[in-house]
Amino acid sequence: MPGPGDAWETRAPAEVGMDPAGVQAAVDYALAHETTQIPDDPGAYLRDRFEGLPHQEIVGPTKERGGVNGVILRHGYIVAEWGDTDREDMTFSVTKSYLSTVAGLAWDDGLIEDLDDPIGAYVTDGTFASEHNADITWHHLLQQTSEWEGTLFGKPDLADRRRGIDRELRAPGTFWEYNDVRFNLMAYSLLHLFRRPLPEVLKERIMDPIGASPEWRWHGYETSWVEIDGERMQSVSGGGHWGGGFIIDTHDHARFGLLALRDGVWGDRRLVSSEWLERATTPTEIQPNYGYMWWLNTGREQLPSAPTSAFYANGAGSTNIIYVDREHDLVTVTRWLDGPEHVDEFLRLVLRSIEE
């Protein structure tokens, strides 16, 4: 495993069983397909995208983005990189897979006794007190089938009901919806378990052990400050929908992806249990392309060129991806690539370069 910071060995493609021309073709493809979805100022993109809709005010930090960049790892070595991979950028919903890992730490530590327990037995401040919300379990919230109803940090669940604002809520566990208010609720619920800021937990348990840089940040909202045990602390967001989330560089993403590739082990240390990662990458029955805040390639529906066993963290319409492929001992990180079809073609070129 790589040492901290810049102590990361590189290998020529041929040394790890990859065709150099094929790897270069993938890199060239990425460089030629920078996103047109996200402008240089993601904050402006967010404001313009939701202009005129209620509850869409930006309440977390944003940052102007850099150019297209990325890295390819095989067998844990850097095979190729392009662009400014040391620049910290917003990463939007890739944040959710980091949040999933913090949930795994809580489960590994026994702070969550049973994932089928109602969260209201743990978070007793009224957030899960209604008749509807009382039935929501950790499992539901992790899979995004909770159907939680309420307002958190000034954002009602209606603010991100992507599958119909006017629809009737279903029973928890029976309807899947990607809803950023509920991802933020996951972070808020975990804060009640750890009783300390989640970035501190992640830094101590994951990011420092994997040798991540000291510059990454995990932000919440100006409205998400809470008091726990008499101390004021910020509950972080699960993405950048209203600002916030992770601002981080590509090398740190690659380290996190390598930890997932190695099933939660870094060197001689297990940081996250294998049992958790298995759960996190198990398909949700009513949404087989999603696990516990990781995207899955079930049936090769999302990424036709990749194996069905691959999984990935996905942000801002696939413009930010950490791709994990245990079948090929491969991790790729792509930043500001223009959407899922271009991510798939990039991966097709990478996988074609592997000499079996």
Output the domain CATH number for residue 25.
3.40.710.10
pLDDT in tens, 11-29: 999 999 999 999 999 999 9
**Residue 148 structure tokens:** 């939680």
Given a contact cutoff of 8 angstroms between Cβ atoms, the answer to whether 322 and 334 are in contact is no
What is the model's pLDDT at position 49?
Answer: 80
Domain count along the chain: 1
pLDDT of residue 47: 86
Is there a domain that residue 176 lies in?
no
Q: What is the mean pLDDT of residues 288-308?
A: 97
Q: What is the pLDDT of residue 356?
A: 67
Q: How many CA atoms lie within 13 A of 258 on its CB side?
A: 26
Q: Which of 157-171, 203-217, 279-293 has the lowest mean pLDDT?
A: 157-171
Tell me, yes or no, whether 337 lies in a domain.
Answer: yes
Residue 64's domain spans which residues? 13-111+190-352
Residues pairing with 283 in the sheet: none
Residue 25's identity, in one-letter code, is A
In this model, does residue 319 exceed pLDDT 70?
Answer: yes
How far apart CA 117 and CA 223 sit, in angstroms, is 29
pLDDT at 93 (0 to 100): 97
Predicted confidence at residue 346, as pLDDT, reads 98
100-141 pLDDT tens trace: 999 999 999 999 999 999 999 999 999 999 999 999 999 999
Report whether 130 contacts 136 (CB < 8 A). Answer: no
Question: Residue 7's pLDDT is what?
Answer: 86
- Determine, yes or no, domain membership for 129: no
By the 8 A CB rule, do 341 and 5 touch? no
Is 6 contained in some domain?
no
In a domain, 135, yes or no: no
Q: Which pLDDT does position 53 carry in this prediction? A: 85
Within a domain: 220: yes
CA separation, residue 39 to residues 65, 91, 180, 244, 316 (Å): 8, 14, 21, 17, 12
With a cut of 90, say whether residue 1 has pLDDT above it: no
210 falls within a domain: yes
According to the model, what pLDDT value does residue 163 have? 87
Helix, strand, coil distribution of the chain in percent, nearest 5 = 35, 20, 45
Cα distance between residue 183 and residue 95, in whole Å: 10
Q: Give the count of beta carbons closer than 10 Å to the beta carbon of residue 158.
A: 15
pLDDT value at residue 33: 98
204 near 220, Cβ under 8 Å? no
Residue 140, domain member (yes or no): no
